[in-house]
Structure 1
Amino acid sequence: MSHVISLRFVIQHWRLFAMQNGRTLHSTVIYAEKVPGGYLPAFIGKEGTKIVARMNTPLPTELAARNALRDVLWGAHVEKRINLHPHSTTATEELAA
């Protein structure tokens, strides 16, 4: 499943598809989606759900797109709107923690 959203809604979708019990799932992947004219920030969350952030102008490089998403996520983490610390998702990982 894939969702295309405005960058301003990325935090809401991060909470829905990349977090569990208040922490970020370790399996979440930040990437850049190739589109005509450049790249859009994106991530893959729970059950392979792809979230692509729509922007007026795509960014020129994959790195710029990934960094744009990381900057938004880091700002939300600092504001305590999300938690970027990894969530342990298996009993073995929980016991090791």
Structure 2
Amino acid sequence: MNHVISLRFLINHWRLFAMQDGYTLHSTVIYAQDVLGGGYLPAFIGKEGTRIIVRMNAPLPTELAARNALRDVLWGAHVEHRINLLPHPLTPAQELAA
């Protein structure tokens, strides 16, 4: 499933699809989605393979720029204690056993 969201709602979607019990899940992947006409949008893959693509006024020129833009916003939210970027303490094996 794909969700396209604005940067304004990024933190809410991170909480819903990338976190569990107040920690970021190990399986969350930050990537860059290429757009028709050139450029990239920040994106991440969260729980159950849900893809969240961040809509912006203009795409960023490189994959690295898009990934870094997302990381910068997430780091700011982490510093402000709005999200926790520490990895979930359970290992994948423990998660399967729970």
Q: Structure 1: where are the runs of 5+ without partners? A: none
Secondary structure in 1 matching 2:12: helix
Report what 1:87 is aligned to: 88
* Structure with greater strand percent: 1
Q: Tell me which amino acid in the other structure corresponds to 1:67.
A: N
Aligned residues: 94
CA distance in 1 between counterparts of 2:40 and 2:85 reads: 23
1:3 lines up with 2:3 in the alignment: yes
User: Cα–Cα, structure 1 residues 92 and 48, in superposed 2: closer, same or farther, change >3 Å?
Assistant: closer
| SS of aligned partner of 1:87 | coil
SS of 1:75's partner is helix
| 2:37 corresponds to 1:65 | no
Deviation at 1:10, TM superposition (A): 0.5
What percentage of aligned pairs have identical amino acids?
80
- Give the counterpart letter for 1:54 in structure 2: R
Q: SS state of the match for residue 30, structure 2?
A: strand
| d(CA) in 1 for partners of 2:68, 2:92 | 32
The alignment yields a C-alpha RMSD, in angstroms, of 1.6
Q: SS where residue 53 of structure 1 aligns?
A: strand
For residues 25-40 of structure 1, what are the structure 2 equivalents within 5 Å?
Answer: 25-36=25-36, 37-40=38-41
Q: Give the letter for the 1:27 counterpart.
A: S
TM-score by length of 2: 0.90
